[in-house]
Amino acid sequence: MAGSNAFRAARITLFGQLGKFVIQVAALYVLARMLTPYEYGLYGIVMVFAGVGFLIGDFGLASASIQAKVLTAQQRTNLFWANICLGLVAATIFVALADPIAALFDETELAPLILGVAGLFLVQAASTQFSANATRDLRFGLLAVADVVSQLVGFGVAVGCALLGFGAWTLVIQQLTVALVLLGIYVSTSAWRPSAPRRAPMRALLKFGLNTFLVQALNFATAKVDSFIVGKLFGATSLGFYDRAYQVNQIATQQLATPLTRVALPLLSKHQDDVGAMRGRLLALMRLLSFGLGGIILFIGINSEHTILVALGDQWVSVAPVLTILAIGGFFQAIGYVYYWGFLSLGKTGLQLRFSLLTRPIMIGLVLIGASWGVEGVAAGVSAGMLVNWIILTVFAVPRVGIASAEFAGVCARAIILWGPLALGVEFLQSTYLGDLAAPVALALNLLVTIFGATIFLIFPAYRKDLRAILEIIRSTR
């Protein structure tokens, strides 16, 4: 029954994400043709620093709330007020740093944008425990509807702002709108209301939150060091180009792997005392991410020029090589989510933090080294770091939670053996025969070739076993 509930929840989440994905792709398509790379670059610089504020406002307390076996109403209330206070701290710091950040990048337009984004921290902080409460109660239908509605409203507001010539403010206002709509939906549909803060057992929750926050902070530093370097060394326009390539590379992960955390964390946490059952579920998720999401990411990367032309338009086509390079790292980032879910569900945030302290400086160092070769070098550093991080976690970290990593590595290896040759074959077909076709037609033909090629691998028993396991997951959602 638990497995059936898990996959039913996954189905609801994925349907919701499909709607959100369609809206975000539409927004990407429309706004990329209404705003300039420079305006995207300004927004990208702001979000490099804004991400720190979001992390402070959350402080890992959402994950602490979801993961806890038992959570009283008073504990949830205390977590809510802790998030509010942290959001205020983040907003205050951000306001104080507005002018110094603008001076650092020699962009006077940054300061007012930073002040506008500061309000987001308070809205996000107020939403944290309401969202966590809905996740803990497995209200995935509500969460899916909230995501779709907020994105739709935000898209409409953004288009209006772009038509009125708001420039980079268009993207800031879009994010504010999405956050406010989400908060409104969460509060209006929740029976819980925070009361006054009072004494309650909080130490374990705060410790879990602190460890999670430190891991997320390290992850964020790794994820944003590339944008910081590109913006500082090569300017806002170069960052605008890089940021769009990065977002196209991330869109599949953001719409599939990231939202599945909502499903995976609360449901896997119910099996904290049964490592065998958790291993089976993590292995099933690894198959989905490796063969499904991994294939999508690599397909986007190998078809980067056509993807950019279709998604963003002619003015962005120069970033196609960057997208191809980032897709390699994107594959290893996506499959690494399985380990992240396992660590959180088992309450092993301390172990996760120790390995993050090892891998994240290495990843940052690789990006710094790559910067010597320009924007494409930065992208290569990002991808190399993702690969190194996955290898270290697979070989050294996963066995320490009592789960043998050989099967996980085997699934990933089979996915790489499948998608690697297919990617090279599609690249040969594209460069030799499809160069003169319109981008949408070339993409469609490449997709058909990829699907046909993947079926050939079913002659091997291991791939048939993987397919049966994936089909069993799909059948379980019915």
Write out pLDDT tens, residues 349-383.
788 888 888 998 999 999 999 999 999 999 999 99
CA angle 165, 167, 170 (to 5 degrees): 95
Q: How many CB atoms are located within 10 Å of the residue 325 CB?
A: 24
If we measure between CA atoms, which residue out of 225, 98, 105, 234 comes closest to residue 172? 98
Q: What is the largest CA-CA distance in the chain?
A: 70
Over residues 188-215, the mean pLDDT reads: 86
For tokens 């770091």, what's the residue?
Answer: 385
Q: What is the dihedral of CA 450, 453, 458, 463, to 10 degrees?
A: -50
Closest alpha carbon to 262 in 165, 379, 140, 346 = 140
End-to-end CA distance of the chain: 13
Mean per-residue pLDDT for 152-180?
95
- Judge residue 385's burial from the number of C-beta atoms within 10 Å of its C-beta, 0-12 exposed, 13-18 middle, 19 or more buried: buried
If one compares 58 and 2, the residue with the highest pLDDT of the two is 58
Tens digits of residue pLDDT in 430-478 = 777 766 778 888 888 888 888 888 888 889 898 888 888 777 766 654 4
Answer whether residue 402 shows pLDDT above 80: no
Can you list the pairs that 441-448 forms with residues at least 24 positions away whose Cβ atoms lie under 8 Å? 442/303, 442/306, 443/303, 443/306, 443/307, 443/310, 446/299, 446/302, 446/303, 446/306, 447/299
Reported confidence tier of residue 311, pLDDT bands at 50, 70, 90:
confident
What are the two backbone dihedrals, phi and then psi, of residue 92, each rounded to the nearest 5 degrees?
A: -60, -45
Confidence bin at 231 (pLDDT 50/70/90): very high
With a cut of 80, say whether residue 271 has pLDDT above it. no
Q: What is the total residue count of the chain?
A: 478
Given the structure tokens 């076996």, which residue do they identify?
69
Q: State the virtual CA torsion across 213, 328, 234, 320 in degrees, nearest 10.
A: -130
Whether residue 199 is predicted with pLDDT greater than 90 in this model: the reply is no
Mean pLDDT of 195-219: 84
* 406 in Cβ contact with 413 (< 8 Å): no
Q: What percent of the chain shows pLDDT beyond 90?
A: 36
Q: Contact 281/341 with Cβ under 8 angstroms?
A: no
CA 251 to CA 128: how far, in whole Å? Answer: 23
Query: What is the average pLDDT score of the chain?
Result: 85
Distance CA 422, CA 295 (A): 10
